[in-house]
Structure 1
Amino acid sequence: MTKDDSYLHTNRSRPDPTGNQVSVCHNWQEDESPALGVVNAIAAATDTAPERLQPLYESVDPDALNMLFESVSGLDRHPSQLSVSFRHEGCDVVVQSNGKLYIWLEVGEHDE
């Protein structure tokens, strides 16, 4: 797997039983920053190449997001205490300090 196609290896679920929502679970701690993890997970959820997505800075400051999670990584805290939520590319995004991030997308919301 190259860095360019890592978004393809995120756990993408099928739509929920109603067919209305797709969800993605991604671990950003393995080899990337939280901001890059968000981009890769949204790419997987929307079935879009990462470079075709709107820049993340249109929704959240990527540097601030990365620094926020870097600042708690060395602290003596339960790893899931910090959570940041926002919307980007029509997706609800939740990033957690335990390395997990979750993406929810309403089916049809990201149609071009």
Structure 2
Amino acid sequence: MRYVREQDASPSVAVIQAVSSCEDVHESELPPLHETIDTDALDALFTNWPNQSPQLDGHVRFQYCEYTVHVHSDGYLILETE
């Protein structure tokens, strides 16, 4: 599944939103993301500069729930089932 992060949503919030949508469950039913990845570090990697360009060009990949999650600097998330 390809998911586009809303401009005002942090990457960590977007991951939760995307997985809850795929699983068709409320976000509160998912395990805490911070037990899988440092959410502050994830958000800091892809925080935009004042001109809205990303600080880093690239992506991060990690496992969460039953998915391999790819968070890209361009605002896209990709969820792959294992």
TM-score (norm 1): 0.63
What does 1:1-112 align with in structure 2 at a 5 Å threshold? 24-70=1-47, 73-74=48-49, 81-106=57-82
CA RMSD of the aligned region, Å? 2.2
For structure 2, the 5+ residue unaligned runs are none
User: Residue 41 of structure 2 aligns to a residue in which SS?
Assistant: helix
CA shift for structure 1 position 88? 0.4
For structure 1, the 5+ residue unaligned runs are 1-23, 107-112
Q: Which runs of 4+ in 1 moved over 2 A?
A: 78-81
Q: Which residue of 2 aligns with 1:19?
A: none
CA shift for structure 1 position 48? 1.5
CA shift for structure 1 position 39? 0.3
How many percent of aligned residue pairs carry the same amino acid?
32
Q: How many residues align?
A: 80
